[in-house]
Structure 1
Amino acid sequence: MKHSTRWLGTVGAVAAVSALVLSGCSTGGDTTGSGPSDNPTAGALTPVSLQLQWSAQAQFAGYYAAVDQGYYRDEGLDVTIKEGGSDIVPQDALAAGDVDYAISWVPKVLGSIEQGANITDVAQIFERSATTQISFKDKNITSPADLKGKNVGSWGYGNEWELFAGMQKDGVQLSDINLVQQAFDMSGFLAGDIDAAQAMTYNEYAQVLETINPKTGKLYQPDELNVINWNDVGTAMLQDAIWANADKLTSDSDYADQTVKFIKASIKGWIFAAGDPQKAADIVAGAGSQLPAGHQLWMTNEVNKLIWPSTNGIGMIDEAAWKNTVDIAMNTKNETGATIITKDPPETAYSNEYVTKALDELKADGVDVMGADFKPITVTLKEGGE
């Protein structure tokens, strides 16, 4: 049964405009919440807050769908979704006790954990990385080795490590390229100032395909681009995960039980998004996102590809993928020679205990948590993402 819901708060004008051009991996913006409006048992629900990395967009479609479809309420939870902002670091908000759960990339959180944040990855929602390096075909950049001597764009702020690891794996040092501070859009790339630009599959890559090629008078096409995919290179790092408070997981049995319920409902939201990406995109739009409709649907579809099909069950943390992320975080150097972390993270950095319980409950109800038959839809982009 679908429950009606009300959305508390709106995205500010600046954040709304920026949502299209800002990378989904950035930390960011205003606050959006959700709460029951017509549920007579609402007072019995447990209030729960979730901190996102950025403003409302389909990168987080599963959580918004879980609110809209009443999945959290079915588990006895009244979930408020808090949008991010340029001054908000999700893992810091969680570690400080300001929220109950947070969504963030694993490498970013590993750095925070080494600095004292006692939090745990309890569900690895994105199994694959969405970060790529794209270039126009005439630049002849098809591998990290080809970046040598080129103007290479990077957002920085913790988004650069897969790029740096891929380059260093191919023997290209930072001194071998001209590293360009890339804005959170594709303007520098489209203007020719950047030879190879960072682009998330669900956001910036689509921005290029939503732009008119002045030479042809038509939208840019995929066959005009070369894409370096870090999943193929072997330097992909784990991205969006659900993080919980490690202290409370061990000291508060109610919080531990609540975590299983939260993961279970969130997974149901992501299953919904896979089954009906158009509706999921509409739900995010209704939550306050002001991304154009076509771009929002593209984002939903591309994010689904990061999750489905699942190798071990959605949310399960793969030991090899975790180790690869940790190895890159410990051994890849930035411009100053620093690494993300200097030692192995503690055992509390991740746990499959809670997601396993959630998956077992879902499987007992006959829910497909693998998505072996998942097939993405075809999204036709239009100028400006409309």
Structure 2
Amino acid sequence: MSTGLFPTDATQRRKLRVRLAAVAFAATALAGLAGSAGAEELTKLSVVLGYVPNVESFGAEYALKQGYFKDEGLDVTVIPAGQGVDQVQMVSAGTVDIGISNPEQILAGVAQGAKFKVFASEFQKTPMAMTCRKDSGIEKASDIAGKRVGVKTPAKPFFDLFMSKNSIDPASVTTTSIGPNDISVLISGQIDCEVTTFAFNEPRLIEAAGVPVNVFSFGDYGLNSQVDSYFVSDAFFADPAKKELLVKYLRAEQKAWMEFFKDPAGAAKFMVEGGFTDGLDLDQQTYQAEKQALYMKDAFTAEKGFMWVNLDTWKETAQNALASKVTDKLIDPTDLLSTEILEKVAPPKM
């Protein structure tokens, strides 16, 4: 006979233990179901990067790893870029939701009839640059007159435009065609400058070989571009529910970028040790992270906010795209850009 809350009879105690175990099992099962339901509630979203994963794409990779996207209710798939990856075509075909690409490629797609909406940009000043040996004496654009410049084959129209916009007589410059990854000719002194380079990639490798350089961003010479701009199809952007997904996505990625600015060296270490891309060098990635930060912020982002799209820059890029025959007509970027997502995210002014 029981004299309290719990039975004293051994058989009854065994029965109680069985019932308690069943209750515990049921609770665990329900918790599991709840967890499964929670996982199913995450909304799938895909993004294709603008380049192979390195500190340039820290925002997306860190937000994914740290669960920032999940905190926003998103199940994000990050697709690395590389040879053969065409972000413009993928977004246009609907095989990916968000593309990250250079404005020239986006404008070229628009010129071919594609309809996009650009809602954020990583860089305010283009990291595309001309890199020159310091001992060449070149301190500004006009100084290349009488010098030797190695021009990567795809960059020739761009370099011709650079000379035109900066009143440099092409006949005064000795040019030679070089390979897409050839820095040996600059290191050996066969040329004085190389076009185009990435402001925090080739210069680091050249200086590591013992050759100090000066780096001239084309953004300072009438050829600016908001490299790594985020875009979706017009149809995607027209859906209010999907537009809210972009708000959540950008909010999560901006949270990751704030960690980048706190510790660029730590961001580099994360990308190298994370195994996102084989062969990343920690010294180079640290150098890139520290330099890259300077191209992502300026007076415009201090006024408007981080990753803000700049219509004036896009108009400049559209003019240059036409002049260099990237497009066969002038694209007015006014309707191509939207600050609606940025306004809802309210990024920090920095």
Q: Which runs of 5+ in 2 are unaligned?
A: 1-34
| 1:346 CA drift (Å) | 5.6
State how far apart, in whole Å, the 1-side matches of 2:120 and 2:193 are. Answer: 32
- 1:75 counterpart (48, 52, 72): 72
Q: 1:154 to 1:117 in 2, by over 3 A?
A: farther
Pair 1:256–1:160, CA change in 2 (3 A): farther
Q: 2:203 aligns with which of 198, 202, 205?
A: 205
Change (3 A) 1:246 1:173: farther
Q: Which amino acid aligns with 2:250?
A: I
Give the TM-score of the pair, scaled to structure 2: 0.80
Superposed displacement of residue 162, structure 1:
5.7
Identity %: 24
Q: Does structure 2 retain, via aligned residues, the 8 Å contact 1:49–1:100? A: yes
Is 2:288 the counterpart of 1:299?
yes
Structure 2 counterpart SS, 1:42: helix
Alignment of 1:249-260 (within 5 A): 249-250=237-238, 252-260=239-247
Match of 1:323 in 2: 315
Letter in 2 for 1:116: G
Question: SS state of the match for residue 152, structure 1?
Answer: strand
Q: Does residue 58 of structure 2 align to residue 61 of structure 1?
A: yes
Once the two structures are superposed, what CA deviation does each residue of 1:17-52 show, in whole Å capped at 9, x if it has no partner? xxxxxxxxxxxxxxxxxxxxxx86333211211111
Instruction: Determine which structure has more spread, i.e. the larger CA radius of gyration.
Output: 2
Q: How does 1:1-386 map to 2 (within 5 A)?
A: 41-157=38-154, 163-172=159-168, 177=173, 178-197=175-194, 198-211=196-209, 213=210, 220=211, 224-250=212-238, 252-285=239-272, 286-289=274-277, 290-309=279-298, 310-311=301-302, 312-330=304-322, 332-333=323-324, 338-345=325-332, 347-359=334-346, 369-371=348-350
What secondary structure is seen at the aligned counterpart in 1 of 2:320? helix
As a proportion of its length, which structure holds more helix?
2
- Partner Cα separation in structure 2 for residue 265 and residue 134 of structure 1: 35
The runs of 5 or more residues in structure 1 that have no matched partner are 1-38, 214-219, 363-368, 372-386
Distance across 2 between alignment mates of 1:324 and 1:62? 27
Q: CA RMSD in A?
A: 2.3
Is the 8 Å Cα contact of residues 122 and 226 (structure 2) preserved in structure 1? no
- Are the aligned partners of 2:133 and 2:186 in contact in 1 as well (CA < 8 Å)? no
Mapped to 1, the partners of 2:142 and 2:226 lie a distance apart of 23
The AA in structure 2 aligned to 1:110 is L
TM-score by length of 1: 0.73
| CA shift for structure 1 position 241 | 1.0
Q: Write the deviation string for residues 89-118 of structure 1: whole angstroms up to 9, x where unpaired.
A: 211111111111111111221112101222
CA 135–294 in structure 1, closer or farther in 2 if over 3 Å, else same: same
| Preserved CA contact (<8 Å) 1:113 1:345 | no
